[in-house]
Chain A
Amino acid sequence: AQSVTQLDSHVSVSEGTPVLLRCNYSSSYSPSLFWYVQHPNKGLQLLLKYTSAATLVKGINGFEAEFKKSETSFHLTKPSAHMSDAAEYFCASSMNRDDKIIFGKGTRLHILP
């Protein structure tokens, strides 16, 4: 069965330090993978997506993610956190055409001054 696991429900980093949000997927097929961000009282906004082209994907706001098939991972990183990055982040995966997209349970990112 298709699943997406976000390993941390909360992550806290200091402003200016690197961010790592972890995501693992399970699939028998090559997936499409996404990271979305949700700010309070807002809908989700796409940060980046992987669709079997380059394994290192660059997104908006300085975020990037690397697809590692051997580890079934798609971790989200940013070299230097900013206060405005404080939000909830969702990893998502789709496996087949006409199938639904599966979201992880989310990771809340806290930025410490």
Chain B
Amino acid sequence: GAGVSQSPSNKVTEKGKDVELRCDPISGHTALYWYRQSLGQGLEFLIYFQGNSAPDKSGLPSDRFSAERTGGSVSTLTIQRTQQEDSAVYLCASSLGDINQPQHFGDGTRLSIL
């Protein structure tokens, strides 16, 4: 069956531009997670959704970052006025809902800010 799909797979943009990253979770998965992975670093939790609501936004690095999820399915992560330190791989994962359930990951979006 289809896994978690992320688009684009690669994105190169100039500093100061806005970018939008998309995640299509596995059908039926109520929980959706966004992580950031920088070179040589582990996974940095950004935000998670349970259905369309986001109980925990504590990981968003600044107010330039926002995310939404509609219809309990697709999610978009938006970064406004991008900075070079935003360059990273952004990973999305989905799960059946309970935090104890394993997460299924997409292949990520590699974001490069020039």
* Smallest beta-carbon distance B2→chain A, Å: 14
The answer to the question of A44 belonging to the interface, with a C-beta cut-off of 8 Å to chain B, is yes
Chain B residues within 8 Å of A46, by CB? 102-104
A100-B48, A100-B56 known; A42+B99 contact, CB < 8 A: no
Q: Does A96 contact B (CB under 8 A)?
A: yes
| B100 lies within 8 A of A43 (CB) | no
Contact at A34–B102, with CB atoms within 8 Å?
A: yes
Interface string of B85-113 (1 = CB under 8 A from A): 00000010100001110111111101000
Residues A99 and B108 in contact, CB atoms below 8 Å apart: no
Tell me the total A-B contact number using a CB cutoff of 8 A.
59
Tell me the smallest distance from the CB of B108 to a CB of chain A, in Å. 6
> Can you name the residue of chain B whose Cβ is closest to the Cβ of A45?
B105
Contact between A90 and B43, CB atoms less than 8 A apart: yes
Interface residue? B16 (CB, 8 A): no
Q: Please tell me the size bucket of the interface on A.
A: 20 to 34
- Interface of A, secondary structure class, is loop
Are the C-beta atoms of B91 and A43 separated by less than 8 Å?
yes
Give Cα A98 to B55, complex, Å.
Answer: 8
Closest to B99 in A: A94
B59 lies within 8 A of chain A by Cβ: yes
14 contacts between A and B (CB under 8 A): A32-B99, A42-B107, A44-B103, A44-B105, A46-B102, A90-B43, A97-B99, A98-B99, A100-B45, A100-B99, A101-B33, A102-B45, A104-B42, A105-B42
The 4 lowest CB-CB distance pairs between A and B, nearest first, are: A43-B105, A105-B42, A32-B100, A103-B43
Chain B interface (Cβ < 8 Å from any Cβ of A): 4, 33, 35, 41-43, 45, 48, 50, 55-56, 59, 91, 93, 98-100, 102-108, 110
